[in-house]
Amino acid sequence: MKNDGKIVCLALDLYFKGNSFHKIKDTLEQFYNIRVEHSTIIRWVQKYVQIAKEFVDGLKPNLSGIYHVDEMMIHIKKDKTERGHYAWLWNLSDHDTRFLLASRVSQRREVQDARVVFQEGKKLMQRRAMAVVHDGLQSYNEAFDKEFFTLRGPRTENIRSVGQRHEGLNQRIERLHGEIRDREIVMRGLDRDETAQIIADGMRIHHNFIRPHMSLDGKTPAQIAGLDLQLEGIRWKVLIEKACRERQSTRTSGEEDSIKR
């Protein structure tokens, strides 16, 4: 990159803490005398979130087996092929570690959308889920039957957190959505759903690996889930460096295998 890696990672950190691209542009100009267009900052976020995502999605967290899923409406710019300025953000989170297994953006709230969230989450589950907790939306019930139901034991329990009997069972994922709601404004004005998905992935990475949680004694969900990557100092920078080294190692290994064949 033309700019110092610290500056690029500062922009990422500020963005996922809830600052808009225009505010970050102003901060860089005021404090560092660096003039960049907000579109450049968008490209930084898109590029490095995808690099980090490739790396972290290959890691296997140690999870509790009890998962919470919920969806929230988010405000983004209208896509050319869809109606309206709103989309749905689906999140699947582990009960004990607060680790986010999946964050998906969709235009609708149908069974297939819920199935995609479960399918993404299952890639990180090292054993069969013990329970999935949701708010009773019918899409979850049907998606659960297709993705988790089995006649063999142990079966995954489908817990509908509705009414007074189950009041509060899904509070953890609802608190997560409160956290995201505080940052939702930075997603407005995005040019299409694909960009919104990159931002959702970045929020997931920030939540899991970058941001210490007071409820976890100042640790990140990744650390609680046994994925301590030793992200000391500028955490985004260290994570991206690890991701780049892993990408290079994978490419080298693939080239060697190709030569052998």
CB 132 within 8 A of CB 144: yes
Same domain, 175 and 261: no
Same domain, 77 and 147: yes
Decide if 38 is inside a domain: yes
- Could you report the per-residue pLDDT of 112-156, keeping only the tens digit for each? 999 999 999 999 999 899 999 998 889 999 999 999 998 888 899
Identify the weakest region by mean pLDDT among 2-6, 37-41, 227-231, 257-261: 257-261
Same domain, 43 and 84: no
Same domain, 174 and 75: yes
Per-residue pLDDT at 258:
61
- Could you report the per-residue pLDDT of 54-97, keeping only the tens digit for each? 999 999 999 999 999 999 888 776 555 455 577 899 999 999 99
Label residue 192 exposed, middle or buried (CB < 10 Å: 0-12, 13-18, 19+). Answer: middle
Decide if 215 is inside a domain: no
Residue 169's domain comprises: 66-201
Same domain, 188 and 243: no
Does residue 255 register a pLDDT over 90? no
Decide if 217 is inside a domain: no
- Closest to 198 (Cα-Cα) out of 72, 12, 6: 12
More confident residue, 107 or 83: 107
Q: Stretch 206-220: mean pLDDT, rounded?
A: 94
Q: Stretch 33-58: mean pLDDT, rounded?
A: 93
Decide if 102 is inside a domain: yes
Same domain, 128 and 95: yes
Per-residue pLDDT at 76:
72
* Tokens standing for residue 75: 């405000």
Q: Stretch 8-29: mean pLDDT, rounded?
A: 93
Number of H helices, E strands in the chain: 9, 5
pLDDT band at 13 (very low <50, low <70, confident <90, very high): very high
Per-residue pLDDT at 259:
60
Same domain, 173 and 49: no
Same domain, 74 and 115: yes
CATH of the domain at 117: 3.30.420
Decide if 34 is inside a domain: yes
Same domain, 97 and 156: yes
Same domain, 81 and 30: no
Handedness of CA 128, 178, 182, 82 (dihedral sign): positive
Q: What are the angstrom distances between the C-alpha of 149 and each of 29, 127, 159? A: 55, 14, 13
Per-residue pLDDT at 164:
44
- Give the C-alpha separation, 152 to 149, whole Å: 9
Q: DSSP character for 88?
A: E
- Could you report the per-residue pLDDT of 169-210, keeping only the tens digit for each? 567 777 777 777 766 666 655 556 678 899 899 999 999 999
Same domain, 32 and 114: no
Per-residue pLDDT at 169:
57
Per-residue pLDDT at 166:
47
Per-residue pLDDT at 165:
47
Q: Which residue has the tokens 């983004």?
A: 76
The number of folded domains in the chain is 2
Decide if 249 is inside a domain: yes
